[in-house]
Amino acid sequence: MKNNRFYNIGQFMEMECDYEESDVIVFGAGFDGTTSNRPGTRFASSAMRGEFYGLETYSPLLGLDLQDFNICDMGDLELSIGDTDKVLNEIYEGTKEILNDEKFPFMIGGEHLVILPAFQAISEKYNDVYVLHFDAHTDLREEYNNNKNSHATVIKRIWDITGDGKIFQFGIRSGTREEFDFALRERHTYMETHTIDTFWKIVSTLGGKNVYLTIDLDVLDPSIFPGTGTPEPGGITYRMFEQIFKILKNSNINLVGCDIVELSPDYDRSNVSTIVACKILRELSLVASHNLIKNREKKEKNKLI
Amino acid sequence: MKNNRFYNIGQFMEMECDYEESDVIVFGAGFDGTTSNRPGTRFASSAMRGEFYGLETYSPLLGLDLQDFNICDMGDLELSIGDTDKVLNEIYEGTKEILNDEKFPFMIGGEHLVILPAFQAISEKYNDVYVLHFDAHTDLREEYNNNKNSHATVIKRIWDITGDGKIFQFGIRSGTREEFDFALRERHTYMETHTIDTFWKIVSTLGGKNVYLTIDLDVLDPSIFPGTGTPEPGGITYRMFEQIFKILKNSNINLVGCDIVELSPDYDRSNVSTIVACKILRELSLVASHNLIKNREKKEKNKLI
Amino acid sequence: MKNNRFYNIGQFMEMECDYEESDVIVFGAGFDGTTSNRPGTRFASSAMRGEFYGLETYSPLLGLDLQDFNICDMGDLELSIGDTDKVLNEIYEGTKEILNDEKFPFMIGGEHLVILPAFQAISEKYNDVYVLHFDAHTDLREEYNNNKNSHATVIKRIWDITGDGKIFQFGIRSGTREEFDFALRERHTYMETHTIDTFWKIVSTLGGKNVYLTIDLDVLDPSIFPGTGTPEPGGITYRMFEQIFKILKNSNINLVGCDIVELSPDYDRSNVSTIVACKILRELSLVASHNLIKNREKKEKNKLI
Amino acid sequence: MKNNRFYNIGQFMEMECDYEESDVIVFGAGFDGTTSNRPGTRFASSAMRGEFYGLETYSPLLGLDLQDFNICDMGDLELSIGDTDKVLNEIYEGTKEILNDEKFPFMIGGEHLVILPAFQAISEKYNDVYVLHFDAHTDLREEYNNNKNSHATVIKRIWDITGDGKIFQFGIRSGTREEFDFALRERHTYMETHTIDTFWKIVSTLGGKNVYLTIDLDVLDPSIFPGTGTPEPGGITYRMFEQIFKILKNSNINLVGCDIVELSPDYDRSNVSTIVACKILRELSLVASHNLIKNREKKEKNKLI
Amino acid sequence: MKNNRFYNIGQFMEMECDYEESDVIVFGAGFDGTTSNRPGTRFASSAMRGEFYGLETYSPLLGLDLQDFNICDMGDLELSIGDTDKVLNEIYEGTKEILNDEKFPFMIGGEHLVILPAFQAISEKYNDVYVLHFDAHTDLREEYNNNKNSHATVIKRIWDITGDGKIFQFGIRSGTREEFDFALRERHTYMETHTIDTFWKIVSTLGGKNVYLTIDLDVLDPSIFPGTGTPEPGGITYRMFEQIFKILKNSNINLVGCDIVELSPDYDRSNVSTIVACKILRELSLVASHNLIKNREKKEKNKLI
Amino acid sequence: MKNNRFYNIGQFMEMECDYEESDVIVFGAGFDGTTSNRPGTRFASSAMRGEFYGLETYSPLLGLDLQDFNICDMGDLELSIGDTDKVLNEIYEGTKEILNDEKFPFMIGGEHLVILPAFQAISEKYNDVYVLHFDAHTDLREEYNNNKNSHATVIKRIWDITGDGKIFQFGIRSGTREEFDFALRERHTYMETHTIDTFWKIVSTLGGKNVYLTIDLDVLDPSIFPGTGTPEPGGITYRMFEQIFKILKNSNINLVGCDIVELSPDYDRSNVSTIVACKILRELSLVASHNLIKNREKKEKNKLI
């Protein structure tokens, strides 16, 4: 019997549904082993669980409330820190189980490399998956620090899986000349960071498609998001993310998974970076939940007809 | 005899006029007892006194200079920290004395609840007082943590005094669904945060009216104001405040009191939040002083006629 | 079904036993409403849960391991922040339930005042309770900031319950002249902070007695414990606490409850203060668990005879 | 023999060319002796050398790469800290040597006063030098703290050298009434901070002219640049600097030297301010290098004709 | 009329007596212009005024209470920051005025150099002044950064005034070989830092002598005092200072002035360093006040006889 | 030609001798990939280079001066961050080169695991090497996070090389019960942390032996060394290290290499931890240099005889 005068803060507030009954599964993957600059993204999910309480469950932007959806915070994956290959496999297996149970994986990094095994599992389940990628950095190196698997190569590795024409990058403002050349040659849609128009256009062309969304939070300007490994001046504002959330909510894409990565909480002792990450988590998990239900209802309606 | 080689930093620079000769009375109310998230607004006024020296007394935005006005910093109210009711009464009595002396109270919080007794005193002196409310949060709960008087209920308590149609909220981006429903149902003018047009329109409809101005500094975006209890991403910029100051300066409203609340200085160790609060204090006390004189001159001119 | 690849960090590691099967019940009481200096002790228990993972479960000092005992972390009490009287009552009721279930309450403050209702409940269950009190401050004022119940009066209020000769203070180095006069007149055993000899002597006179242990962590020197509301230079070292733990482990006192209070984690951003609090929690919960079993076995042996 | 498994971080990455072969010479002048508010700009250049590694050598904004230019980081000037006159002379001599070697001096402050001797040396070498000045503060006092040479008087001292009509100030938002009056009377082009149009216009009128560029980094808004002595809310964004870099790159001005001053790294422990300064250093040294070559080629082409 | 509901925090608590009626005059000299490492001691006195409120007025160590003595905090000296010679002269004149009024100067630095003009004034008033010097560093260079007057040469400059045999250094653990050779050759009593025995012996030989006491707070170990320009591991504990205070209180020396210098508050964001400085200020001003009265009474008794 | 007005801070001051002429080679190994708690030791060597300037080159404790010895700072090893095996090999090769050149390797970590390949290289060059190990943690696990090579297993791996009776641990106060059992069974000399007597005794038994010294800086108490991954209360003071340095200087052991590891500078923003590490580096490199010369002279004297 648990004494009901007490509460326990181990899960994201209002993300405490049973796994079985939940559609969206939130989990942490606290790996930062290939981080070449400031480490500490390993602490992102636990820092976020501590700060999430300052937010309301209701989003006035979206008109949606966490209390109306079934979301389950699974906690963090147990990882063999120190051995990159083992860690990647553990993330792969963890994501696969969630997908096998027909649920939506929402991963909190960790460095950007953690999305590689998650995306591998997703691309095995769904075919023809498109990628929406928010980031300050291209992440398109072929190799970094003598390693093929790295936070600086991860989108190149994703491209190894998807091939051309599937990845859309937004907010990029740093990389080598070679990376930018590759992005253009391969017709990745590289775009200027100061307009959201192209995001709307691209999302509208992806109606009905399977889409994976990966957000390296350093896409935000360091003024609002200093707490990351490699802050890059000139980023987008939180207000732009509000537009992005609305576009996603109203879109017809079939979101099959998403992540937010690269929060390194100890580098922002005001905790604002962590709070920003929490608010993006709230908005995106609302969008994902809402769209899952919308799509399911649509399917069922179609069946009836 | 005070040796004139020395200076003493206990008051806001250029706010050291005699109480008797001053129009605008600045004082601190360092209470944060109902704060449910990060405390520390109790330190706001003393932190601000320490940072005010980095500012000039002249405002190029307004073309006004503190040296041309009589402003008196009274220091901080002595408060019975630990007993919310006693504290509220002490703030009420302190404000009342200032009002009885026909002076303009400019309070520095403390948490937002400190404005309730101040507004009580003001509404007893002036009738038909309108409220301009800047904030990230609705503050319209009926009760919070089992208390009716709380930082999260304070505008609802103000509404208990004013009734419908008197409160105008700006910058709100967080609250429960119930709070937003209340705001709309009761015809509080809730507005989007990214335009200042509506502020101009509303102020222009309040010409000649008694107006109280309350600024919860968390209305600002956390990028420029991390030092507060509950930072909420997506806020307004300091540049928007510049527009607000100009609109207020040029308006015909009869400002009867104002406050700035919710600076929690220790959560921003760069001290930028404190400096922002200081600059808002400078601009607003210039506006208040300037308009007091303008209105007095107008009245006297009218008398002559 | 919980996927076993994940772990959830909401409880102190190895303090996750079922409530029913546990002897020692750990819980947080995150109230700091009468704190007159730096607030933030409300965050102590959650900060400690986050840092506890850096410690081993085994104590080489004591030769005991958390894995060998049943300890249950209940999480934090839900408190009506803003209304001191309600909060004190909620702590009283929470502690009483634990005592009614014949369990040992181990409270994590919060400010020192939180121990008053806990001690009230304990003194109702056990008679003739002695108090071992570690602190930098006397806490013997009759009233503070116009309040009788305050962090600065709490030991005086405990004395109202116990009467003379029951309270032993250690490490005190700050107070008014009146408080020190009272401590001497009333034969509280005030002692110098730099010797542990008297602690050993006093504990040895309390064999078989019911004893409550309250540790205001500011008894430690600010060099090792800066993260508290009112740091006071000249305190004891952590090494002295090691002696204290050994003395307690080997003693014959009947420990009926204990607490550690006044960690304010945000004032020590190296987190060392939080880690120190965690280690004291580990050592004390080991001592309490070990002695509970020892005493129970002794009693049962006595019954057999 | 240097073992090639090691690298040494004492110079800005990719600014390690031989002095003799380099066009642009970067050096630090770590003096902050007249700073009246928060000191620490002395640490700017060494903090920047430490953070520069997080940046790529390639600028996607400008399409230029540090690897394609010869830039030499000389390290920091040895200065007689404590004696302002000696220090100014040492900076003068150091800059003069660089100019005598027909190289481009790029100074990293230090407080703003360090530019006075550097500009003195430049105005002795080049005649008719125009000044582009970015700053939050007018720096036009005649005297400050009883000193004629001060961070608060430095532009007035520059004006003593240039006379009227040569200095263009951008981003100014703080000063005394007298300073603003002087700026207008003397036809310094004081302009509003929120538009870049006038910068473009002014630069286009300076085609072929010798121009010195001085950037007090506090021209940036404190949201993105808290790490400075006197942060002033209401500044420009980093995005505006991107426009400035493009305008400079495409201009026909003859840049003869530049500086970035007033980074005080310890006041921004997220290091974002330092990173912003590094990125501005990269972009400006690319622009300077690119334009030096462009102008040289133009001259040589002209000679051929 | 000052409204008595308010208090103003501009002076050290209980050091608010009228200048005329006070024996001990506390004042700040916020100069750090020759500081070669981390600056910021300019903020010491104002930071201390803000933290002093956390201390009681009563010292249980000394059995003395600030409320029983007349102490006047004059605030801070106005200084011509940027011109070392002017600043030194301003400190000289300020100290001289206090001495002319037959009062005891208690200066709060600033860097160590600020004591040079103060000592100059003292040595002009009193003859045959001995110096007790606590410090981590010898400060015996002949010149530093090309300057004769520097924080690193200040005791050598004091020696220029006193000549041999007058200066006693305690706690020294850093300097050049030349400085240590000088200290020994000139029979400065350099001593090991880990014993207080020699301090007691030396003080006992100075009975009836005029003594100036200068405390560079970096004599403390950085564990308890990180907030200084050049922390040097291996220093003394606060407990040792307690012994020092007792020895001074019980001594027969004729204390003619004292100072505490080199607190740089921003480098210790837990504020513990500032609190330590406050407690030393309290204890020393109690000792000074107490001994002044004791000596005066002795003199008057002698007169009667 | 390097302009001699400038200095460059890329090497430890007075450790800038030519590699060929140096006996002691200092280098950084910035790897922290298996760190399970707070990362960031990768920044240790560059942070130390920045702070080293606050120290004198002369050690009054040892009577030795860096200026009298040839020490070469090689900078940091280039490492394949992200692949633990590659990194270990790179450290092995780097150390081997230094040893092949008959020089003394002084490594700055990085996490503790970096010493494994360095010790491997040393044990291949020298036979019968003894290990003096200072640490808070046993580091004797067989496996950690599923990895055999880890900061938590590194001394067990060293033991795999040395076998029984070669490793002496000091300052240990944390580990599992199994680790402590192993340490005792295998006759590792585990000792209490609060006495230096045993260190002296053990060193005196190792006269003439080859000895490797490894210092995990978390052996220090967190009061003086908070800047590390896993601070453990109850450690040794810096004063004890002074005894250790003296014992080593006066010993007859044949030191063949040493290291200091586990400084994580960003977790101590006062930089005291970094300064402590710098002072230990200075003292140990003086001891190593002094003893190398002493031993060489002894050998040559023996040859002569």
Q: Give C118-158 pLDDT, tens digit per residue.
A: 999 999 999 899 999 999 999 999 999 999 999 999 999 99
Q: Give A9-43 pLDDT, tens digit per residue.
A: 467 778 888 899 999 999 999 999 999 899 999 99
* Pair C30, C41: CB distance under 8 Å: yes
Q: Is the pLDDT of residue B1 over 60?
A: no
Task: State mean pLDDT over E199-207.
Answer: 92
DSSP assigned state of F185: H
Confidence of residue F53 (pLDDT cuts 50, 70, 90): confident
| pTM assigned to the model | 0.95
Return the bridge partners of A191, or none.
Answer: none
* CA of B84 vs chain D CAs: smallest distance (Å): 34
Confidence of residue F28 (pLDDT cuts 50, 70, 90): very high
Interface of B with C in 170-229 (CB under 8 A): none
Of all residues in chain A, the percent with pLDDT exceeding 70 is: 93
For testing contact with chain C, the best of B79, B146, B154, B266 (most C CBs within 10 A): B146
Q: D25-39, D177-191, E105-119, F10-24 — which is least confidently predicted?
A: D177-191
Confidence of residue D5 (pLDDT cuts 50, 70, 90): low
Task: State mean pLDDT over E282-286.
Answer: 98
Task: State mean pLDDT over F168-178.
Answer: 93
CB atoms within 10 A of CB B299: 10
For testing contact with chain F, the best of D1, D2, D4, D6 (most F CBs within 10 A): D6
DSSP assigned state of A16: B
- Does the distance separating the beta carbons of B9 and E76 come in below 8 Å? yes
| Closest residue of chain C to E61, computed from CA coordinates | C173
Confidence of residue B198 (pLDDT cuts 50, 70, 90): confident
Query: Does C89 contact A at CB distance below 8 Å?
Result: no
- CA of residue F294 relative to chain centroid, distance: 21
Counting one residue from chain E and one from chain F, the pairs whose CB atoms sit within 8 A come to 61
Q: Is the pLDDT of residue D195 over 60?
A: yes
Q: Is the pLDDT of residue F58 over 70?
A: yes
Instruction: Point out the residue among E54, E223, E238 whose CB comes nearest to the CB of C37.
Output: E54
Q: Give D255-277 pLDDT, tens digit per residue.
A: 999 999 999 999 999 999 999 99
Q: Could you check whether the bond before residue E28 is cis, i.e. omega within 30 degrees of 0?
A: no
Interface of C with B in 226-285 (CB under 8 A): 266-267
Q: Give F185-233 pLDDT, tens digit per residue.
A: 765 555 555 577 789 999 999 999 999 999 999 999 999 999 999 999 9
pLDDT in the model for residue C122:
98
Token representation of residue E241: 């200072």
CA distance linking residue A203 with residue D131, whole number of Å = 47
Question: For chain F, what is the radius of gyration of the CA atoms?
Answer: 18
Confidence of residue A1 (pLDDT cuts 50, 70, 90): very low
Confidence of residue B4 (pLDDT cuts 50, 70, 90): low
pLDDT in the model for residue F109:
96
Task: State mean pLDDT over B130-151.
Answer: 94
Q: Give A180-236 pLDDT, tens digit per residue.
A: 988 877 655 555 555 777 899 999 999 999 999 999 999 999 999 999 999 999 999
pLDDT in the model for residue A5:
67
Token representation of residue A185: 């040659």
Q: Is the pLDDT of residue E190 over 50?
A: yes
Q: Could you check whether the bond before residue B50 is cis, i.e. omega within 30 degrees of 0?
A: no
Confidence of residue B155 (pLDDT cuts 50, 70, 90): very high
Query: Does B78 contact E at CB distance below 8 Å?
Result: yes
- Chain B residue numbers with beta carbons less than 8 Å from the beta carbon of A272 are 222-223, 226, 231, 233
In the 3-class helix/strand/coil scheme, how is chain E assigned residue by residue?
A: CCCCCEECCCCCCCCECCCCCCCEEEEEECCCCCCCCCCCHHHHHHHHHHHHHHCCCEECCCCEEHHHCCEEEEEEECCCCCCHHHHHHHHHHHHHHHHHCCCEEEEEECCHHHHHHHHHHHHHHCCCEEEEEECCECCCCCCECCECCCCCCHHHHHHHHHCCCCEEEECCCECCHHHHHHHHHCCCEECCCCCCHHHHHHHHHCCCCEEEEEEEHHHECCCCCCCCCCCCCCCECHHHHHHHHHHHHHCCCEEEEEEEECCCHHHCCCCHHHHHHHHHHHHHHHHHHHHHHHHHHHHHHHHHC
Q: Is the pLDDT of residue B189 over 70?
A: no
Task: State mean pLDDT over E153-176.
Answer: 93
- Chain B residue numbers with beta carbons less than 8 Å from the beta carbon of D234 are 61, 238-239, 242, 279
pLDDT in the model for residue F116:
98
Task: State mean pLDDT over E152-177.
Answer: 93
Confidence of residue D132 (pLDDT cuts 50, 70, 90): very high
Q: Give E48-59 pLDDT, tens digit per residue.
A: 999 998 999 999
- Chain B residue numbers with beta carbons less than 8 Å from the beta carbon of C38 are 40, 266
pLDDT in the model for residue E184:
77
Give the alpha-carbon dihedral of F163, F164, F165, F170, to 10 degrees: 90
pLDDT in the model for residue F4:
54
- Does the distance separating the beta carbons of D55 and A176 come in below 8 Å? no
CA distance linking residue B155 with residue C298, whole number of Å = 61
For testing contact with chain F, the best of A41, A77, A83 (most F CBs within 10 A): A83
- Chain E residue numbers with beta carbons less than 8 Å from the beta carbon of D145 are 79-83
The helix or strand, by DSSP H or E, that contains position F146, with its residue range, turns out to be none
| Closest residue of chain D to B58, computed from CA coordinates | D176
- Chain C residue numbers with beta carbons less than 8 Å from the beta carbon of B35 are 81
- Chain F residue numbers with beta carbons less than 8 Å from the beta carbon of E180 are 58, 60
How would you classify the pairing of strands C210-216 and A129-134?
unpaired
User: What ipTM did this prediction achieve?
Assistant: 0.94
pLDDT in the model for residue A4:
56
* CA of B128 vs chain D CAs: smallest distance (Å): 35
Confidence of residue C17 (pLDDT cuts 50, 70, 90): confident
pLDDT in the model for residue E302:
86
Instruction: Point out the residue among C172, C174, C226 whose CB comes nearest to the CB of E272.
Output: C226
Task: State mean pLDDT over E171-193.
Answer: 78
In the 3-class helix/strand/coil scheme, how is chain D assigned residue by residue?
A: CCCCCEECCCCCCCCECCCCCCCEEEEEECCCCCCCCCCCHHHHHHHHHHHHHHCCCEECCCCEEHHHCCEEEEEEECCCCCCHHHHHHHHHHHHHHHHHCCCEEEEEECCHHHHHHHHHHHHHHCCCEEEEEECCECCCCCCECCECCCCCCHHHHHHHHHCCCCEEEECCCECCHHHHHHHHHCCCCCCCCCCCHHHHHHHHHCCCCEEEEEEEHHHECCCCCCCCCCCCCCCECHHHHHHHHHHHHHCCCEEEEEEEECCCHHHCCCCHHHHHHHHHHHHHHHHHHHHHHHHHHHHHHHHHC
* CA of B173 vs chain C CAs: smallest distance (Å): 24
Q: Is the pLDDT of residue D126 over 90?
A: yes
Q: Give A129-148 pLDDT, tens digit per residue.
A: 999 999 999 999 999 999 99
* Pair D225, D280: CB distance under 8 Å: no
| Closest residue of chain C to E63, computed from CA coordinates | C177
pLDDT in the model for residue A7:
59
pLDDT in the model for residue E187:
59
- Chain E residue numbers with beta carbons less than 8 Å from the beta carbon of B78 are 5-7
pLDDT in the model for residue A262:
98
Query: Does D89 contact E at CB distance below 8 Å?
Result: no
pLDDT in the model for residue A2:
41
Question: What's chain D's average pLDDT?
Answer: 91
CA distance linking residue C251 with residue C31, whole number of Å = 32
Task: State mean pLDDT over B5-27.
Answer: 80
The helix or strand, by DSSP H or E, that contains position B133, with its residue range, turns out to be strand B129-134
